[in-house]
Structure 1
């Protein structure tokens, strides 16, 4: 089983959040998860929901601030072992091209 999640952790502050977001991403390195950061968050893959939630808690607590906002969306497909890349590949197959475009 693979559990896939979209995670966004950020302090509620004025100005740039990148330094604190980097702390959240770096905290994931202490766990047996795969991840890829994009402009809107970080996609995380773990073998179990427990591993995923431990990593998410570490990312959340790594961010300094009086107020921290965390968004978590979990896809726990319990009957198959689909990776995040497989989901993108399926969409691209229907599109007949890559699922991205640059302006």
Structure 2
């Protein structure tokens, strides 16, 4: 048995760099992964590396509509989500999470 067998894991900012490394590790550990990135080109380049068990989506994590679309796709494909790993590089304006709203923009 591998560490993440039977787990569904979302990795944001996984089109390259650290996020991609995390997605590859989760897959190696048996997870079904959802790979998201703001860059459609990066997502397209990864299509051959990941299987049909996985889900690759273009998503800007600063846009509520994109996050809602991702949620719909995840629920449709898997019916659940076991873990989220945020590896995207965004600047939040140094606002505490507890002070953010869905409409918040730095």
Q: Same fold (TM over 0.5)?
A: no
Give the strand-richer structure, 1 or 2.
1
TM-score (norm 2): 0.28
Indicate the structure whose relative CO is greater, using CA pairs within 8 Å and at least 6 residues apart.
1
Q: Normalising by structure 1, what TM-score? A: 0.29
